[in-house]
Amino acid sequence: MTGQMIQTKATPITLGRPSSQAKNRRWMQALILRQAFRRAYVRFAESYPDYQVVFLNEHFLTHQVGPLLACYLDKGVLPVAFELVTAWVEQFVPPSETDYQHCMTKLLPAATDFLNWLEAELGS
């Protein structure tokens, strides 16, 4: 009987980080997201080398995109391209309507591609 219990009972896998199953699951989701993000970013950098420096750079990714992507961990929903571009524009561009519209028009296709690649990498 004990052997049957071992075969049918699910044994939690401990990864050495969090102690609860919920924390383990979130940790794994975050790891999967980071790996998918890296692969999508490589495609982005190859397709938009100029934007790698000025748009999706390390500072922006750390301070603006990270919190937007945290929503994926909580709700399973990626941000939309408009959110990425708006966050970038509000961080770096003077509040002139012309500059705002110009940046939105120019960066929206790149942000859309990046999020499409990220979604593909996540298998969504």
Can you tell me whether residue 61 is helix, strand or coil?
helix
Q: What is the pTM of this model?
A: 0.74
Give the pLDDT confidence of 62-116 residue by residue, as tens digits: 788 888 888 888 888 899 999 988 888 887 666 677 777 888 888 899 999 999 9
Higher confidence at residue 104 or residue 39? 39
Q: How confident is the prediction for the chain on average, in pLDDT? A: 79
Measured CA to CA, the distance from residue 43 to residue 29 in angstroms comes to 21
Measured CA to CA, the distance from residue 32 to residue 76 in angstroms comes to 12
Helix (H) or strand (E) holding 34: helix 21-47
